């Protein structure tokens, strides 16, 4: 094998310099994105984040009210909500994870979405906090971080069987039996 000529060495050096410049640009872009993410994380309030998520979700799955509930101290705690009459009493509301009347427990046990077409006579939805019996259709989807269950998102509709009949949500498993 012959030694490279000066022209070949200059070409290789030029290619190496171009690659170094590309990598430097990629590093600078990554650092900039990281800094922007840090600023957003520091300045964006959790409530604003939920508002954006709920607005976008409304475009895909029409609902009348919705909540995000996370697990804290063996309870579901509502940390975000939209569409409820009394938002002050909704946020921070807690539900025991051992309460078998709460259909969200089905989602906790299975880590799969749960759809109920008619919750109007379900004891969990009779209270004023849950719309005083106005909620008819209900979806509860798990919030997972990897395989770890961290909470649920619920969507409510004031129409019977809306989520089952009107929505085409193929990945949702429809449970028919209650605990």
More confident site: 104 or 27: 104
Strands (E), 42-136: 65-72, 75-82, 94-96, 114-116
Strands (E), 73-171: 75-82, 94-96, 114-116, 137-145, 148-157
Contact 132/64 with Cβ under 8 angstroms?
A: no
pLDDT given at position 23: 87
More confident site: 39 or 46: 46
Burial class (CB in 10 A: 0-12, 13-18, 19+), 97: middle
Q: Please report which confidence band the pLDDT of residue 40 belongs to, taking 50, 70 and 90 as the band edges.
A: low
**In the predicted structure, residue 42 carries a pLDDT above the cut 80:** no
Beta bridge partners, 157, equal 137
Cα dihedral 122, 144, 51, 86 sign = positive
Burial class (CB in 10 A: 0-12, 13-18, 19+), 120: middle
Contact 91/76 with Cβ under 8 angstroms?
A: no
pLDDT in tens, 123-141: 888 776 666 678 899 999 9
Backbone angles phi, psi at 46, to 5 degrees: -60, -40
Q: What is the mean pLDDT of residues 66-90?
A: 91
pLDDT in tens, 3-31: 888 898 899 999 999 889 888 877 877 77
Q: How close are the terminal C-alpha atoms of the chain, in Å?
A: 77
pLDDT in tens, 44-59: 677 777 887 888 788 8
**In the predicted structure, residue 165 carries a pLDDT above the cut 70:** no
């Amino acid at each position: 094998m012959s030694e490279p000529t000066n022209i070949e060495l200059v070409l290789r050096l030029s290619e190496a310099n171009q690659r170094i410049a590309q990598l430097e640009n990629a590093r600078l872009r990554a650092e900039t994105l990281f800094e922007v993410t840090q600023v957003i994380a520091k300045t964006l309030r959790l409530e604003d984040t939920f508002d954006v998520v709920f607005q976008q979700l409304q475009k895909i799955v029409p609902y009348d009210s919705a909540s995000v509930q996370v697990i804290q101290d063996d309870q579901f705690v509502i940390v975000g909500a939209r569409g409820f009459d009394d938002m002050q009493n909704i946020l921070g509301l807690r539900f025991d994870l051992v309460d078998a009347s709460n259909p969200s427990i089905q989602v906790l046990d299975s880590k799969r979405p749960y759809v109920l077409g008619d919750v109007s006579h379900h004891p969990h939805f009779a209270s004023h906090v849950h719309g005083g019996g106005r909620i008819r259709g209900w979806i509860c989807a798990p919030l997972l971080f990897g395989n770890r269950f961290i909470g649920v998102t619920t969507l409510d509709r004031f129409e019977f069987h809306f989520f089952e009949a009107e929505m085409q949500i193929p990945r949702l498993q429809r449970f028919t039996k209650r605990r």
